[in-house]
């Protein structure tokens, strides 16, 4: 290789490497890197690809369990759902690309997470999303980001024929400049036919298939997600990837047919860092070398340089390892699906990543140096010396009474019906969907044999900002409570950790404490982490986002016909408050409407007690004993009851009796509380297993509540009109 024109250390730093990291690269190569090598090192050693500020923390999480079939390290995790089937699932972020170009950022986020699912041999069956924006009612930027992201998610999922069955969206001021777009996908596959991504077999051939390679997305996800948005000037921002769901549909079917026929040894999708990441990681996992000839890569633009080809993030591409004797059959099958399979390299015993352009060697790096020897950093966590986040803007009159507070909460963007958003998604394609959005706390999908699969995705950045450790525990418990209301037992968990700049001590403290809480809660629930993603540097000139660990959890239920619903169903049913519920107003949605600053900490949580309540509710739902089950979350008890009234189109009368603090009792928030309804005898049986307090009955055309000396009364029509607040933004 010629050494003329080698990049300088300044150019390396412009690509994201520190001076020390550049010197380490020189040491690993025993020489300065050339342009191709520097591009590959800079991306694989980026935060997005290497997790260099979070990997040590992630190693503390529980990853093994009774139902775990495939854990972290593969394209997606997988859990056993019985009868030889597994559910593959994972959540990932596309935050920074969506902040630059929301439609394509969100669309390609969906495309990428779907490829992770079928890359292990599972057919995608559902998508969920977790979104965060500023206030779309007052901010043109937030409205632009919201519209673009929702349209992008709907476009990709609807076009490829995978239902979007659930999710969440919240609007808070710290997300004004840095939105969050997290996408989760699930798939079903046969346990014995799963494939891993480790390259194997010296002399085997690498086949690239799918879309041709262009300059779109060069450095996209890896560069954007490894720096604060404010640090990226317009001329340094890479292009956001452009997705084509119809191309991905062909890619999906081709991949599954290749796997079904036993034609490939290993399979990997091309996401962040493109060929660089996929090929190098396959080589690392297989402890082999790989040679690639970039002259053989099908290009969209003929004059692309070798480094551009290696780091392009063009979408809808897969890389597989094929035995030489099966190459012609593989190429014929890719031709059948019109995804243009091309042999571009071979598996070697050199332990090197060697990049050729025809006969010319343009890059040579040890796989271990490229993938495994990225420096991992110890964080320097320290609690903030002063509040990080200013109080939210107050929108509720301080003199508001209980009724006014209820209507304001029901109309809050964080609680109001998301129907104008989720109606843009096809939630029933594939005909598996049993519980759609606003029908149950968790989405429910049908499995063969009448069994069911439930899935939930949750986050609460405000609570985590108040107390990263206890707030994260609360998020995990909320996810499991959603499954319990559907009648599902947790099998495994995925997570996406969205935080600010980890090089700052207060952000490092948030991240460290959140991971500690995540691990503790998942151990207690026996719902291990099977995979996930970390998205750091989510901050700009106005400061960091709320620390936002997003949790996805999958569970199963034995009889899908008994999947729980959140809506009240029968006049005369008793309404009960279930669980050791100790509500508090600090960091609640009511506190946000009042403009109150975040508290310095949250109350302790008895995880074992919450789990016991979840199991009691889950068992009662499975027995068909309850007419409805709904966990108490944002807005507190009275909002949960109002939501059950609206979902069932029936009123309720409540009496909480003597109450020292009606506001906390009605609107306070805490993990572990449920609102259920059913025959009084069924409620009495539930009381044999957990704390139960009968507080009212279903019936009428209004919600009426007494709590101590306080009283609130609102008709269903008034509640429904308030609940449609988001719809008024989408005429």
**DSSP state string for 467-499:** -HHHHHHHHHHHHHHHHHHHT-EEEEEEEEEE-
Q: Active-site positions?
A: 48, 94
Q: What percent of the chain has pLDDT over 70?
A: 96
Q: Count CB neighbours of 208 within 10 A.
A: 26
Instruction: Kindly report the length of the chain.
Output: 731
pLDDT over 90 at 220, yes or no: no
Query: Is residue 8 packed enough to be buried (19+ CB in 10 Å), middle (13-18) or exposed (0-12)?
Result: exposed
Lookup: tokens for 124 = 């995608």
User: For residue 173, what are its two tokens?
Assistant: 């001021």
Between CA 326 and CA 441 the distance in angstroms is 47
DSSP 8-class letter at 213: B
Over 70: is that where the pLDDT of 658 sits? yes
For helices 327-336 and 245-260, what crossing angle results, to 10°?
Answer: 140
Residue 222 has pLDDT above 70, yes or no: no
Q: What is the pLDDT of residue 373?
A: 92
Report helix, strand or coil for 460: coil
CB atoms within 10 A of CB 298: 15
Residue 185 and residue 163: Cα distance in Å, rounded?
Answer: 10
Place of tokens 């796989």: 367
pLDDT averaged over every residue in the chain:
93
617 contacts 485 by C-beta, under 8 angstroms: yes
Contacts of 267 (CB under 8 A, 6+ apart): 119, 120, 121, 195, 197, 255, 258, 259, 318, 319, 320, 321
Q: Which long-range contacts (CB under 8 A, 24 or more apart) does 711-714 make?
A: 711/402, 712/401, 712/402, 712/403, 712/405, 712/406, 712/638, 712/666, 713/403, 714/403, 714/406, 714/407, 714/642
Mean pLDDT (whole number) for 486-504: 97
Token pair listed for 62 = 């529980």
Q: State the average pLDDT over residues 598-607.
A: 97
Q: What is the pLDDT of residues 443-479, one digit of tens each?
A: 999 999 999 999 999 999 999 999 999 999 999 999 9
pLDDT at 234: 46
Q: Count Cβ neighbours within 10 Å for each residue of 19-53 and write b for 16 or more, e otherwise.
A: eebbebbeebbeebbbbbbbbbbbbbbbbbbbbbb
Q: Average of pLDDT values for 266-284?
A: 94
Q: How confident is the model at residue 8 (pLDDT cuts 50, 70, 90)?
A: confident
Q: Do domains 195-373 and 395-429+565-731 have the same CATH topology?
A: yes
Q: What are the C-alpha distances in Å from 122 to residues 192, 193, 268, 443?
A: 11, 9, 13, 19
455: which strand partners?
A: 443, 554
When pLDDT is averaged across residues 555-580 and rounded to a whole number, the result is 97
Cα separation of the two ends of the chain: 62
Asked if 475 and 525 touch (Cβ cutoff 8 Å), the reply is: no
pLDDT confidence bin for 194, thresholds 50/70/90: very high
Q: Return d(Cα 120, Cα 256) in angstroms, integer.
A: 9
pLDDT of residue 475: 98
| Pairing relationship of beta strands 342-348 and 205-210 according to DSSP bridges | antiparallel
Task: State yes or no: pLDDT of 40 exceeds 70.
Answer: yes
For residue 221, pLDDT beyond 50: no
Structure tokens at 84: 């030889």
Rounded to 5 degrees, φ, ψ at 2 are -75, 140
Burial class (CB in 10 A: 0-12, 13-18, 19+), 582: middle
What number does CATH give the domain 395-429+565-731? 3.90.650.10
pLDDT at 2: 45
Section 49-74 average pLDDT = 95
**What DSSP assignment string belongs to 399-420?**
T--HHHHHHHHHHSTTTS--HH
Which whole number is the average pLDDT over 25-47? 94
Quick check: 227 pLDDT over 60?
no
424 vs 250: CA distance, rounded Å: 24
**Whole-number percent of the chain with pLDDT over 90:** 87
Look up the pTM and report it: 0.95
pLDDT of 7 strictly over 90: no
Where would I find the beta strands (DSSP E) of 432-547? 433-435, 443-446, 452-458, 489-498, 529-535, 539-540, 543-544
Distance, CA of 21 to chain centre: 30
Confidence class for position 243, pLDDT limits 50, 70, 90 = confident
| pLDDT at res. 731 | 65
Q: Which two tokens stand for residue 29?
A: 């190569």
pLDDT band at 235 (very low <50, low <70, confident <90, very high): very low
Q: Which residue has the tokens 């709904």?
A: 630
Give residue 237's pLDDT: 45
Query: Is residue 209 a contact partner of residue 342, using CB atoms and an 8 Å limit?
Result: yes
Q: Where are the domains of the chain?
A: 195-373, 395-429+565-731
Task: Specify the pLDDT at position 306.
Answer: 95
How many CB atoms sit inside 10 A of residue 91's CB? Answer: 25
Tell me which residue of 146, 70, 160 sits closest to 111, measured CA to CA.
160
Helix 716-723 to helix 402-411 angle, to the nearest 10 degrees? 40
Question: What architecture (CATH level 2) is domain 195-373?
Answer: Alpha-Beta Complex (3.90)
The pLDDT value recorded for residue 1 is 52
């Amino acid at each position: 290789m010629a050494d003329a024109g080698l990049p300088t250390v300044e150019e390396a730093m412009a690509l994201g490497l520190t001076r020390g990291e550049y010197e380490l690269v020189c040491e690993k190569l025993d020489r300065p890197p050339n342009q191709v090598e520097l591009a590959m090192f800079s991306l694989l050693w980026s935060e997005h690809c290497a997790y260099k500020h979070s990997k040590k923390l992630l190693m503390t999480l529980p990853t093994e369990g009774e139902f775990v079939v495939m854990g972290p390290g593969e394209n997606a995790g997988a859990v056993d759902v019985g009868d030889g089937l597994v559910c593959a699932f994972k959540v990932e972020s596309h935050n920074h690309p969506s902040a630059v170009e929301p439609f394509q950022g969100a669309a390609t986020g969906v495309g990428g997470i779907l490829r992770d699912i079928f890359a292990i041999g599972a057919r995608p069956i559902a998508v969920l999303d977790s979104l965060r924006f500023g206030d779309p009612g007052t901010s043109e930027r937030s409205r632009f980001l919201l519209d673009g992201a929702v349209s992008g998610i709907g476009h990709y999922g609807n076009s490829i024929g995978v239902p979007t069955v659930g999710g969440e969206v919240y609007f808070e001021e710290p997300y004004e400049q840095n939105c969050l777009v997290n996408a989760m996908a699930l798939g079903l596959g046969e346990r014995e036919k799963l494939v891993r991504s480790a390259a194997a077999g010296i002399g085997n051939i690498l086949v690239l298939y799918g879309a041709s390679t262009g300059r779109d997305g060069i450095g996209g996800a890896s560069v954007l997600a490894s720096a604060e948005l404010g640090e990226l000037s317009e001329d340094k921002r890479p292009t956001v990837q452009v997705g084509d769901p119809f191309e991905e549909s062909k890619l999906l079917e081709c991949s599954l047919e290749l796997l079904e026929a036993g034609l490939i040894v290993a399979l990997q999708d091309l996401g962040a860092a493109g060929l660089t990441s996929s090929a190098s990681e396959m080589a690392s996992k297989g402890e082999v070398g790989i040679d690639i000839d970039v002259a053989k890569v099908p290009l969209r633009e003929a004059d692309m340089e070798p480094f551009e080809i290696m780091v392009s993030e063009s979408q809808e591409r897969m890389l597989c390892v094929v035995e030489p004797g099966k190459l012609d059959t593989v190429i014929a099958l890719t031709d059948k699906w019109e995804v243009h399979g091309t042999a571009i390299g071979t598996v070697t015993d050199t332990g090197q990543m060697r990049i050729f352009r025809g006969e010319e060697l343009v890059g040579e790096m040890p796989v271990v140096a490229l993938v495994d020897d990225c420096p991992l950093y110890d964080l320097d966590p320290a609690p903030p010396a002063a509040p990080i986040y200013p109080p939210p803007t107050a929108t509720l009159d301080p003199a508001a009474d209980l009724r006014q507070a209820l209507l304001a909460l029901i109309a809050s963007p964080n609680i109001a019906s998301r129907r104008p958003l989720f109606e843009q998604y096809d939630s029933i394609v594939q005909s598996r969907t049993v519980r759609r959005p606003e029908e149950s706390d968790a989405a429910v999908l049908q499995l063969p044999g009448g069994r069911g699969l439930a899935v939930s995705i949750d986050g609460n950045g405000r609570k985590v900002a108040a107390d990263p450790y206890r707030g994260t525990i609360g998020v995990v418990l909320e996810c499991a409570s959603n499954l319990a209301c559907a009648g599902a037992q947790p099998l495994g968990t995925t997570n996406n950790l969205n935080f600010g700049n980890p090089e700052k001590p207060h952000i490092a403290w948030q991240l460290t404490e959140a991971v500690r809480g995540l691990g503790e809660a998942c151990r207690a629930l026996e719902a291990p982490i099977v995979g996930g993603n970390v998205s750091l540097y989510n901050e700009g000139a106005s400061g960091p986002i709320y620390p936002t660990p997003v949790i996805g959890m999958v569970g199963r239920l034995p009889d899908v016909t008994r999947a729980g619903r959140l809506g009240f169903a029968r006049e005369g049913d008793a309404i009960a408050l279930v669980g050791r519920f100790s509500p508090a107003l600090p960091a609640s949605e009511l506190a946000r409407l009042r403009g109150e600053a975040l508290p310095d900490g949250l109350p302790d949580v008895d995880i074992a007690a919450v789990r016991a309540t979840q199991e009691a509710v889950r068992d009662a739902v499975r027995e068909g004993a309850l007419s409805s089950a709904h966990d108490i979350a944002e807005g507190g008890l009275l909002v949960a009851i109002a939501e059950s009234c609206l979902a069932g189109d029936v009123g309720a009368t409540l009496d909480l009796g003597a109450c020292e603090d009606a506001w906390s009792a009605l609107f306070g928030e805490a993990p572990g509380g449920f609102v259920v309804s059913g025959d009084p005898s069924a409620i009495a049986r539930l009381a044999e297993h957990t704390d139960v307090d009968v507080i009212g009955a279903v019936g009428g055309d209004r919600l009426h509540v007494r709590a101590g000396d306080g009283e609130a009364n609102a008709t269903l029509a008034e509640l429904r009109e308030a609940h449609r607040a988001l719809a008024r933004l989408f005429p």
